[in-house]
């Protein structure tokens, strides 16, 4: 996975997600905030929403926000949460969000925590073997029982 250092616009994206979490944090229903930047440079926030049985991730919320504004393809994304000391930190996307990012921003940069260092990687690197229907692949799938 090729990681790249952050640029000023990545830090600004992080800061926007931090603002959203600071304004709306709740330890049960609003634990994560996100921000997505589109090709036009617009930034769309997202917030984790949850109940006892249903949760919608902050990244999905940010992507939906950008889609509702017909803002174009997502080119960068970050999610943040609070650590045990109450500090807001970058958090890595779950598998569902990685799949969404691959669809709505297949070449997007995603800020991640790589062993305590915040770097950015391409969304496709987070989901190297995405789920596809067989007809969506560029190959024939081998029969594992064939010699």
d(CA 26, CA 97): 21
pLDDT at 10: 97
Length of the chain in residues, anyone? 147
**Catalytic residue chosen out of the listed positions 7, 15, 59, 67:** 59
Question: In this predicted model, what pLDDT tens digit does every residue of 44-92 receive, in sequence order?
Answer: 999 999 888 899 999 999 999 999 999 999 999 999 999 999 999 999 9
* Of the candidates 37, 25, 123, the residue with the CA atom closest to the CA atom of residue 83: 25
pLDDT at 80: 97
Between residues 80 and 147, which one has the greater pLDDT?
Answer: 80
Residue 107 corresponds to which tokens in the numbers above? 């070449």
DSSP calls for 31-79: -EEEEEEETTS-EEEEE-EE-SS-EE-HHHHHHHHHHHTT---EEEEEE
pLDDT at 42: 97
pLDDT at 7: 95
pLDDT at 96: 93
Question: In this predicted model, what pLDDT tens digit does every residue of 122-144 receive, in sequence order?
Answer: 999 998 877 778 888 788 878 78
Helix or strand holding residue 120 (H, E): strand 117-122
Half-sphere exposure of 115 (CA within 13 A, CB side): 1
Residue 35 has pLDDT above 80, yes or no: yes
Residue 1 has pLDDT above 90, yes or no: no
For the chain, state the CA radius of gyration.
16
Active site residue 7: no
């Amino acid at each position: 996975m090729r990681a790249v250092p952050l640029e000023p616009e990545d830090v600004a994206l992080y800061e926007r997600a931090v603002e959203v979490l600071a304004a709306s944090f709740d330890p049960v229903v609003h634990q994560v905030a996100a921000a997505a930047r589109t090709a036009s440079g617009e930034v769309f926030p997202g917030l984790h929403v949850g109940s006892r049985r249903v949760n919608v991730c902050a990244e999905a919320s940010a992507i939906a926000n950008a889609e509702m504004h017909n803002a174009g393809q997502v080119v960068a994304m970050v999610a943040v949460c609070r650590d045990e000391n109450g500090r807001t930190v970058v958090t890595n996307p779950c598998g569902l969000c990685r799949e969404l990012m691959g669809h709505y921003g297949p070449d997007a940069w995603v800020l991640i925590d790589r062993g305590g260092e915040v770097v950015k990687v391409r969304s496709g690197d987070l989901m190297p073997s995405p789920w596809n229907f067989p007809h969506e692949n560029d190959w024939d799938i081998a029969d594992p029982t064939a010699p």
